[in-house]
Amino acid sequence: MFSALRSQLRTLWTILQHTFSRAETVPYPEQQPYLAPRYRGRIVLTNDPDGQERCVACNLCAVACPVDCIALQQGVKQDGRWYPEFFRINFSRCILCGMCEEACPTNAIQLTPDFEMCEYERSSMVYEKEHLQIDGTGKYHDYSFYRVAGLAIAGKDKGEAQNEAPPVDVKSLLP
């Protein structure tokens, strides 16, 4: 009985001491919270360091997406580069899980620290490629997929990529 009473009184005293401690709340619209650079917010498509789009329309992001909110169609340019003819993300479905970013082999699709995407109409939440594409390189400034990949494009033939040996002529006996 007395220990219970003491415990209750101690609780009261502890709570009373909180009169002088600061509120943890961040008054949001006036004071913006700190968002880490790797925060998972609005999705963007990024460019190579030389300014060409990174996305090769491999569809891995669409496959990885647990809510199937990504839709895209592959096309091939004159110089041999692959690119998405359209790229559509339905943000009213997107759960910002970041699995597309993990799946992406070219670092094209990236999540940004921006979550303020309120709209009055649901159709406004469907972002097309021109809404998603940004001019910069996002989080990875030096990476360029075509410089390390084996695919031949105009101006870079087979075997000319970084860390890639020239192709072996399998029909020749010479070393």
Partner 1 sequence: MSELGTVTFGLLLIAAAVGGAAVLTWFERRLLGIWQDRYGPDRLGPLGIGQVVADMLKLLTKDDWVPPFSDRFVFVFAPTAIVVAMLLGFAVVPFAPQLYVLDINIGLLFFLGMTSLAVYSVLLGGLASNNKYALLGGLRSAAQMVSYEVFMGLSLMGVVMLTGSFSLRAIVEAQRDLWYCVPQVLGLFTFLIAGIAESHRLPFDLPEAEHELTAGFHTEYGGMKFAMFMLGEYLGLILISCMITTLFFGGWLGPWLPPLLWFCLKTFALICFFVLLRGAIPRPRYDQLMTLGWKYMLPLTLLNLVLTGALALLLEGQRHV
Q: Which is nearer to partner 1, 22 or 141 (CB)?
A: 22
Stretch that binds partner 1, among 18-26, 70-78, 86-94, 155-163 (CB under 8 A): 18-26
Q: Which residue, 64, 81, 62, is CA-closest to 144?
A: 81
- Specify the residue, 23 or 168, whose C-beta has the smaller distance to partner 1: 23
Tell me if 31 contacts partner 1 by CB under 8 A.
no
2 binding partner 1? (CB under 8 A)? no
Binder to partner 1 among 3, 6, 8, 103 (CB under 8 A)? Answer: 8
Closest to 104 measured CA to CA, from 117, 87, 116: 87
> CA-CA-CA-CA torsion for 100, 157, 129, 36, nearest 10 degrees?
40
Residue whose entry in the numeric block shows the structure tokens 């870079």:
156
Question: Per rule CB under 8 A, is residue 22 in the interface with partner 1?
Answer: yes
Query: What is the rounded distance in angstroms from the CA atom of residue 3 to the CA atom of residue 25?
Result: 34
Q: Among 14-22, 54-62, 99-107, 166-174, which window interacts with partner 1 (CB under 8 A)?
A: 14-22
Extract the runs of DSSP E, i.e. beta strands, from 36-137. 43-45, 70-76, 82-90, 109-111, 126-127
Q: Total binding residues for partner 1 by CB under 8 A?
A: 15
User: Which positions lie near partner 1, rule CB under 8 A?
Assistant: 1, 8, 11-12, 14-16, 18-19, 21-25, 27
